[in-house]
Amino acid sequence: MFDALNISGTGLYAHRKWLDAVSDNIANINTVTSTDGEAFKERFIVAQAVDYGSGEGGVRVAGAEFGSGEGRLVYEPTHPLADDEGYVRYPDIDLGEQMTQLIMAQRGYQANIASIERATTAYEAALRLGKG
């Protein structure tokens, strides 16, 4: 009877993890490292269906994948981390792509909240009928 709440709850958790990863990527978009180190690695959340098609499963976070640590070299000779040639390493993260991911994760989170609110309202109405 409470499958809708459970499924939406798993969706909330997955979308929250997605939002966390995207916000972390955006926060570190300007993180500088020296050329002998790796750049900040973009994080991606891997979601997986649980009991797909059964109407009972939901979704789970199967883990995280990371982007390349290669980054991009930028000429900034006055930066304290610059190498002998004046280069530093920035992450290779596209802000436009991250903003798109952020909007999609936010909308998914909102959809799951709406689903939980509707299911709760329906269950409350059923309980009121039972008191009848």
Q: Is the pLDDT of residue 42 over 90?
A: yes
Domain count across the chain? 1
pLDDT confidence bin for 2, thresholds 50/70/90: low
The Cα 127–Cα 17 span in angstroms is 34
Q: What is the mean pLDDT of residues 51-79?
A: 89
Range of the domain at 126: 3-30+40-68+90-131
> In this structure, is residue 98 part of a structural domain?
yes
> In this structure, is residue 94 part of a structural domain?
yes
Q: What is the mean pLDDT of residues 5-34?
A: 94
Return the amino acid letter for 51: D
> In this structure, is residue 26 part of a structural domain?
yes
| pLDDT for position 1 | 53
> In this structure, is residue 80 part of a structural domain?
no
- At 47 the three-state DSSP class reads strand
> In this structure, is residue 105 part of a structural domain?
yes
| pLDDT for position 132 | 60
> In this structure, is residue 46 part of a structural domain?
yes
| pLDDT for position 64 | 95
Q: Could you tell me if 101 and 22 are in contact, meaning their C-beta atoms sit under 8 angstroms apart? A: yes
Burial letters 85-112, b for 16+ CB under 10 A, else e: eebbbbbbbeeeebeebbeebeebbeeb
Q: What is the mean pLDDT of residues 41-45?
A: 96
> In this structure, is residue 96 part of a structural domain?
yes
> In this structure, is residue 122 part of a structural domain?
yes
Query: Phi and psi for 74 in degrees, rounded to 5?
Result: -130, 135
